[in-house]
Structures are given as structure tokens and as C-alpha cells.
Amino acid sequence: MEFTAELIAGFLQGEIVGDPKTIVNTLAKIEEGKPGALAFLANPKYEHYIYTTQASIVIVNHTFTPTAPVAATLIRVEDAYSCFAKLLELYVANKPQKEGISPKASIHDSVSLGENVYVGDYAVLEQGVKVGNNCKIYPQVYLGDHVTLGDNVTLYPGVKIYEMCSLGSHIIIHAGSVIGADGFGFAPNEKGEFSKIPQIGNVRIEDEVEIGANTCIDRATMGSTVIHRGVKLDNLIQIAHNVSIGENTVAASQVGVAGSSKVGANCMFGGQVGIAGHLQIGDGVKLASKTGVSNNIGDGLTYMGYPALPGMKFHRSNAIFRNLPELSNRVHQLEKELEALKSTLNNEGETH
């Protein structure tokens, strides 16, 4: 599909600097722009690319002032990043959509399918599954007994959802993720072995959630593990049994949340954050990458490091930690001087 600068500016309510008839037919990063491509500049550290890019149109912030000639047609907007995201959404919406029910899928007679549903090859939908409208179930997806999907749910290849789990609407789950596997529940017995504790709960995922590839969310021992509305989880994340993740919380790759911990709304977790079990994490909490949390954290706080410390305290402690070798040498030197002083004082005492 082809779009003119004039059409794009109208859609984004932007201002054109250059030729309004410039045509683009693809999207590109500004450093990889080619003729016919649309790019954007939002981060000032990439500004030098705008003077060399071959992209035909570049979306920029209203505040951008070039310091050299720019060959591309510019479209000035309030927020270049969010405007480019809107265009990406438009681009994806206009791509050919998957449709139809594959004859190679295994669908139980009791399954309820909504309108405009796609089911790919070798997908398995077990007894009592309910699928809403406009859902896309890609090849080799497994939906266990009585799983329910709302409207506009996309399950990419190889997603596995165990029995009784419930998903809302406008949800995306990427390839290889497992929803509703047993929680890690074992109890020691009189033989010194570990007996499995049956996990009879489920996972409940609310609307507008996106879950990355190969992420695992365990079913509750009893009740539900809950992922609340608007949560965004990256790839390779582990959410344990009976955990609750609050609305609009985002977590980067390799985050792990242990059993029965409750995470508040609007939190932001960097990669490899670890949260111990049975903790309360307040609303608006920010955890830097690799933070290890072993105690409750109140609302709106930023923590870093392991064990987790408030941001400013962590930076002060880290400054000391970096100087530990020098501090250790100074202590050893002071100890030697102190011993020498004590020896001198003792000798003087003996002579009197």
C-alpha cells in the first residue's frame, strides 16, 4: 500500500515540511531508511541519522530544529514516537488476516466458537472450550477442558492453556507460553521425600494483556492466579501459583515472582527481577534490573540491588562497595600502625 505525506500528516494531525506528494510504501528505522520508506526521529541521540537517511518521509517532534539540510520530507507532530506507533498499528491492521478453521485441527463437539474465528493446523480444543469473536488460534495451540477466551484473543503457535483457565478480551499470548501448569507445590513427608500438593485452582487473565514468548503462569493451589487488566509481560517470565499482578504493570524478560506474592498496579520491573513469596509490592513500584526483593515494598518506591535497597541508598552503598579494596587496604594499614603504636607505648611503659 502507498501513502502520501499529505495523507499521513492528516491522519496524525501533523505539519508537513517538504513535498506533500511524497509517497511511501514501507516502514523503516531511520538508520536503515531507503527511498519509499517512512521513518521517525524521537531520541536526540539518533539525530545524526536524519541528515544521511534515504527515507522519503521522517516523522519528528515539533521541537526538532535541524542543524543541516534534510533531504527527507518531514512531518512535525507533538510526539513522534507515539505517532509512529499509531502508524504501525494501521500497517498491521491492513495486513492480510488469518481466517477459517483448519480441517487438521482437533475440536471437540462441545466447543463453542464465536464469529470470525481462525483455528490453525493441529490446534487442539478440548471439551467445553468457549472461544469469543475475532479470535486467532495459531497452529499447535492447546486449549484444555473448559478454557474460555473472550473476544479478539490471539494465541500464537504452541501456546498451551490448561483446563479451567479463563482469558478476557483483547489479549495476545506469544509462542510457547504455558498458562495454568501446576504451581510448584510439594510438602516433605515422613520418608524425607516430597509429596505433591494438588493444584486445583486456575489462571484468570483480564482484558488488554500481552504475554511474551515462553512465559509461564502457574495455576493456583486453590482460587486463581490473576493477571489484571492491561498487564504487559515480556518473554521468559515466571509467575508462580496464587500470584496477583496489578493493572497496567509491566515486566521485562526473566522476571520471577514466587508463590502468593501480590504486585500492585502500574509497577515497572526491569529484567531479571526476583520477588520472593508471600510479599506485598505496592502500587507504582519501580524495580531496577536484577533487583532481589525479600521484603514488602510500599507504594511508589524505587528499589535496586540485592538485597533490594531504596534507590538513593543503593547508589550510596554501591559507591562504597566500589571502593572496598582501597578501604580494606587502608584498614589493614591503620591496624599495622595501631599495633606499632601499642608496641611503642608498651616499651616506653616498661622502661619507666
**Residue range 104-121, pLDDT digits in tens:** 999 999 999 999 999 999
User: How high is the pLDDT of residue 352?
Assistant: 60
Identify the CATH assignment for 3-93 out of 3.40.50.10860, 3.40.50.300, 3.30.1360.120, 3.40.1390.10. 3.40.1390.10
Q: Where are the domains of the chain?
A: 3-93, 106-312, 323-351
Say yes or no: do domains 3-93 and 106-312 share a fold: no
Residues 277/295, Cβ–Cβ less than 8 Å: no
Q: How far is it, in rounded angstroms, from Cα 334 to Cα 336?
A: 5
Q: Which amino acid, one-letter code, is at 267?
A: C
User: How high is the pLDDT of residue 254?
Assistant: 98
> What are the backbone dihedrals phi and psi of residue 21, each rounded to the nearest 5 degrees, phi first?
-90, 0
Instruction: Give the chain's residues under pLDDT 70.
Output: 349-352
Separation in Å, CA 121 to CA 116, 129, 178: 17, 17, 19
**Residue range 267-294, pLDDT digits in tens:** 999 999 999 999 999 999 999 999 999 9
User: How high is the pLDDT of residue 309?
Assistant: 73
- 241 flagged as catalytic: yes
Could you say which of 241, 278, 332, 352 is catalytic? 241
The CATH number of 106-312 is 2.160.10.10
User: How high is the pLDDT of residue 25?
Assistant: 92
